[in-house]
Each structure stands twice: as structure tokens, then as C-alpha cells.
Chain A
Amino acid sequence: MKQNNLYNYILSIADNSLILGQRLGELCGHGPTLETDIAGTNISLDLIGQCRNYYQYAAKVQGEGKTEDDLAFLRLEREYKNVLLVEQPNDHFGYVMGRQYLFDVFHLLFMNDMLNSKDETLAAIAKKGIKEVSYHKRFSGDWVKRLGDGTEESKAKMQEAIDDLWTYTDELFDMTEADKAMVSEGVGVDVSKLKEGYYKEVSQLLAEADLTVPESKYFTRGGKKGIHSEHMGYLLADLQYMQRTYPNMEW
């Protein structure tokens, strides 16, 4: 394939949206209030919508006649390139909002940059996505603040989630081969340049939320290379269940 780097690049962005959308979808009907349930489903819907645009484009770039569903459902675990952060489980609402916020800040910075991509399709997806992701960040950021500055219990739970999820943040800024190639062509986003702004913004909100910014310098990475956490296999078992059980059918 001529455009292997572009294909891999698109997939890695798409996988982040798919896997986070899948995680949020698991919560549908189980939220702490009806309003948060509706909002969580809405965010999931936005993310699934985004990943469809990416997969359709990736399938076109690949040029093998595959569909968005082939790419979303029929790869092996090692072929999914999402960051570890988005596949982390919905342990409690603090984890759900913490995971969301830590991703949303990155996601918005990323989208704002992708708006300037020389690739018109990616720029167009970014243009549409920025509105959605701005809302996601406002929602998750507000909840991090509410929980951090709520009761003693909620503060402890929110801090626990931030402490546990922090280890996955640094991977967001790793540059893969595909990333580097796409940056050099003016198509991709140089995520390494987003790091400073990211930690500054997150730290500021955590301070506002009366939470402590974790000091750990040890980070966990692997998702971008297809080496996932133990949670991923179960997530994929659900996600791929129908496509694996009933291959080559239309739904």
C-alpha cells in the first residue's frame, strides 16, 4: 500500500474514539443520574460518529474494498493502536470522568491542530469534532471539579482515579513512525508539542478542583504499539462478538 503511514495514522486516531466510545456505551442506563446518563451516551455517540468518519477514510486510503466495520471490528488486539488511557475500565464514576477529562484535554488540543492539516478530510473531521470535544471537556472538567470539591468521599475517589490514571497520560505524546511521517508531510499533528500545554491546563483544573497533581515520574505506555492492558481483550470480546460469531454478514 502506497499510503501505509497515512492509513496507520488514521487508524490510531480512530481507535481512540472507538474504544472510549465503547467504554462509555457500557454505562448506558447505569449512571448516577438520568442527566449524566444522557450526557455520557451523547459523548459516546459523538465518539462513535467520529471514528466512523476516520474508518471510512482509512478504508478508502487502503483501497482494498474494506468497510468501516471491517476495520473497527475485525482486527487482532495487537492491531488496535489506541492509547492505554481510553481502554481503562469504568471502575466508578470518578474513573469515568477522570479518564474522560484526561483524554478530552488532549483531544481538543489535538483537534485544534488537526484543523490545519494539509489533508482536507482530516481537517474537515477536526472542524466538526472541535465543537463536540469542547463540550466533552467542559462536561468532564466540571465533574472533576464537582467531585474534587464536593464531599470528603468524592474528593478521595476523584483523587484515587487521577492518581491511577495519571500513569497513562504521557503516552498521549509519544510519536510513532506513522506520526513522524505524517508530521513531516504537514498532515499529522506533532503531539510531542502538545505536552506542555496539556499538563499546564490539567494541573490548573486539578488545583481548582482542590486535587493534588500526581508527582509520579513513572509512566505506562504500549497502546500505540498495540501492546494493551489486560482489559482490552474483554472489551474486544464484546465489541467483536457479532462480527466474529457471524462472519461476512450484513446487519
Chain B
Amino acid sequence: MNNSLPFGRDAQRAERVSLSFNLKTNTMSDEQIRNLEEIFEARIARDEKIEPKDWMPEKYRKTHIRQMSQHAHSEIVGMLPEGNWISRAPSLRRKAALLAKVQDEAGHGLYLYSACETLGVSRDELYEQLHSGKAKYSSIFNYPTVSWADMGAVGWLVDGAAIINQVPLCNTSFGPYARAMVRVCKEESFHQRQGFEIMLKLCNGSPEQKEMAQDALNRWWWPSLMMLGPTDAESIHTEQSMKWKLKRKSNDDLRQQFIDQTVPQADLLGLTIPDPDMKFNEETGSYDFGEINWDEFWQVVKGHGPCNKKRMKDRVGAWEEGAWVRDAAMAHAEKNEAKKLKKAI
């Protein structure tokens, strides 16, 4: 329970509830907290935004730190598989576009970490959670990018699945997250089109290029479906997240939406979805699809995917090798402050 004083926009309403706040013990009674929670839930139900300084239940704060930091970590780790092709991009135009894309991801990471910081956790703490393995990031980035076509497939499928997950978050209840997601989604949607365009070029190219594209689709299809999360029966966070508008549709619904959106695009490319059970269902107006290998999903989530160790080694390595640089920047800033102070005296 968060027993701190309420303040900010919600203060007046909250004040009425907490008039009998016990100044001696600095705590609120259970009843007071329940009242605050009721006001809080009512605000969310009215689609009001919760801002960082508003009172919020501790669980809400923790859930948001977990989800936003997980999202931020995914952006940062996600830079690695695509960064892998910057030096080998096949044309200057593609090299520039890929650089810009990976830079966008760093930008997303930056403002998602900042959104987390509004809830009282530092970026260093969040990094520590990532590096120690305590915090998760999107499992999809534990697959290797082995050909140029993977830059197309990642944009088209992985960013495509990410958008399906993220668009509803533009209306989520926590203000800083909702606002960050508006920008993130705009850029992700550009990335997805860019990825599709890479695929289109390959599919209209030589037989080798088309084969490269099909191979990438074969490898990325199933992990992309897994990206939308475990089936509803297995998902532990869904109900609470729905209430807080951190989630508006179930994992299975989102997955179906992704499939229905993507299959016609694959047709347009002249590529085959690697699922023999994939079939349009006239009754439902959706595509039926085959069994997802959830054993593989859990294997990767638990740290045993093809690149889990490498991704962490790269992130931790960059952090540790950069320590002397960050220390130097701090030391220099402190020296400058001291100089300014001396001048002022």
C-alpha cells in the first residue's frame, strides 16, 4: 500500500477523504485508502488521465514501472539485431534508413525510461534490473538476424505485431505512457511500411532475393505470433491490465487481428505463410491457424533462445565498458560546478 500523502491535480478530492490523516504516525487508515482507491478507479473509468503526482495505488505504480520499463528494455535490446546489419546494408539509402530506424528505437527507449522515472525509479535502477536478468524484454529479439531480408521481416512482422499491441496504449490511463505511445506508434507504423517495402523489393527482385524473403518469413512468422503473448488462459496480468486500460483486447484477439491483417500482405508479396493449417474461415471472416509451439516460446522467455546470452552480453558489455566515460562526465560536471561556485563567492 502507498501510504504517502496525496497531492497534485487530485488533491482537493483526495483531501476530503484524508481530513483525518494521522499526522503523528504519517499513515492513513485502511478506510481512507479504500476511499482514495475508489476515487482513483472512478477517474480511470471516466477516461481521465492519471499523472505522475496524482495519488495512485502502489500496485498501479509498480505495474506501470514493470510494463513501461519492459517496453523500454525491448526498444534498447531491439537495437541490437537490427544494428547488426547497419555496416552491411546493401545500399546507401538502406543504410541511412536503417540508421534512422535504430536511432528511433533508442529515442523510444529514452522517453519510456523517462516516463518510468516520473514514477520514482531511476534509469540506472532499471538498467540494473535488465542486466541482472530480473527484468524482461520482448523475447523476439532473442532470435538472430541472419540475412538482409530479416531487416524487412523484422519491420514488417515484428513492428507490425508491436503496433497491434501498442496502438490501444495511446489511450491508456497513465498520462506519460499514453503520450509517449502516440509518438512511438507513429514511428513504428513508418518502420512497418519500411520493412514491407524492403520485402516488396526483394520479392520483385531476383530468385535469390525472393528466396531470401521467403526464408526470413519462415523464420520470423511463428516468433511474431508468440510476440502477442501467451494464450488468454495462461496470461496472468490480463484482467487487472484491462481495468487500468493497459490492455484493451486479449492476447488471442490481438493475435487474430495480426494474422488477419498480415496474411493478405503476404499474398501481395507472393510469399507463403509457413503454416499448412492456415485457412480463411468464411463463417468467422478470419483466418484459422495451426498450433503455436509454446514450448519454444517458454524456452526463449526463460533465457534459452538462440541469442539471449549474446544480447545480454552486448548490453552489459556496453554498460560496463562505458562506465569510465560516464564517471568522467560526472567528474567533469562536478568540477565545473565547483568552478562556478568559486567564481560566485
- State in angstroms the CA–CA spacing of A249 and B94 once bound together: 14
Q: Which one of B43-51, B75-83, B163-171 is at the A interface?
A: B75-83
B324 engages A154 (CB within 8 Å): yes
- State in angstroms the CA–CA spacing of A237 and B208 once bound together: 21
Which A52-82 residues have a C-beta within 8 angstroms of B? 52, 55, 68-69, 72-73
Partner of B110, one of A38, A55, A154, A238: A38
Q: Which one of A23-31, A99-107, A170-178 is at the B interface?
A: A23-31
Asked if A114 CB lies within 8 Å of chain B CBs, one says no
**1/0 per position for B104-123, CB-CB distance to A under 8 A?**
00110110010000000000
Known A31-B318, A149-B335; contact A68-B87, beta-carbon cutoff 8 A: no
In the complex, chain A residues whose CB is within 8 Å of the CB of B332: 145-147, 149-150
**1/0 per position for B85-110, CB-CB distance to A under 8 A?**
01111111111100110110011011
- The tally of residues in A whose CB lies under 8 Å from a CB in B reads 47
B76 engages A34 (CB within 8 Å): yes
Asked if B321 CB lies within 8 Å of chain A CBs, one says yes
Partner of A251, one of B94, B99, B319, B321: B94
Q: Which of B95, B209, B314, B328 has the most chain A CB within a 10 Å cutoff?
A: B328
A48 engages B325 (CB within 8 Å): no
Please give the distance in Å from A77's CB to the nearest CB on chain B.
Answer: 16
Asked if A219 CB lies within 8 Å of chain B CBs, one says no
Please give the distance in Å from B150's CB to the nearest CB on chain A.
Answer: 13
A32 engages B87 (CB within 8 Å): no
CB nearest to A23 among chain B residues: B87
Asked if A215 CB lies within 8 Å of chain B CBs, one says no
Asked if A218 CB lies within 8 Å of chain B CBs, one says no
A251 engages B201 (CB within 8 Å): yes
B89 engages A242 (CB within 8 Å): yes
Partner of A154, one of B198, B321, B325: B325
Asked if B26 CB lies within 8 Å of chain A CBs, one says no
Partner of B91, one of A26, A37, A49, A251: A251
**1/0 per position for B303-343, CB-CB distance to A under 8 A?**
00000000000100111011111111111100100000000
Partner of B328, one of A28, A49, A153, A249: A153
B106 engages A34 (CB within 8 Å): yes
**1/0 per position for A18-51, CB-CB distance to B under 8 A?**
0000100110111111111110011011001101
**1/0 per position for B54-91, CB-CB distance to A under 8 A?**
00000000000000000000001001100100111111
CB nearest to A240 among chain B residues: B88
CB nearest to A41 among chain B residues: B103
In the complex, chain A residues whose CB is within 8 Å of the CB of B284: none
Partner of B113, one of A34, A49, A151: A34
Partner of B327, one of A25, A37, A151, A239: A151
- State in angstroms the CA–CA spacing of A22 and B80 once bound together: 16
In the complex, chain B residues whose CB is within 8 Å of the CB of A29: 76, 79-80, 83, 102, 106, 314, 318
Please give the distance in Å from A4's CB to the nearest CB on chain B.
Answer: 23
Asked if B205 CB lies within 8 Å of chain A CBs, one says yes
B92 engages A41 (CB within 8 Å): no
In the complex, chain B residues whose CB is within 8 Å of the CB of A68: 92
In the complex, chain A residues whose CB is within 8 Å of the CB of B318: 29-32
Asked if A93 CB lies within 8 Å of chain B CBs, one says yes
Partner of A38, one of B95, B96, B103, B331: B103
- Residues on B lying within 8 angstroms of A by beta carbon are 76, 79-80, 83, 86-96, 99-100, 102-103, 106-107, 109-110, 113, 148, 198, 201, 205-206, 208-209, 314, 317-319, 321-332, 335
Known: A29-B76, A93-B325, A249-B208. 17 other contacts (CB 8 A): A25-B95, A29-B79, A29-B80, A30-B318, A34-B110, A41-B99, A45-B99, A45-B103, A48-B96, A69-B92, A147-B325, A147-B332, A150-B327, A151-B328, A238-B87, A238-B88, A246-B208
Q: 7 tightest CB-CB pairs across the interface, nearest first?
A: A32-B322, A150-B328, A154-B328, A242-B90, A29-B79, A29-B83, A32-B325
- Residues on A lying within 8 angstroms of B by beta carbon are 22, 25-26, 28-38, 41-42, 44-45, 48-49, 51-52, 55, 68-69, 72-73, 92-93, 145-147, 149-151, 153-154, 157, 238-239, 241-243, 246, 249-251
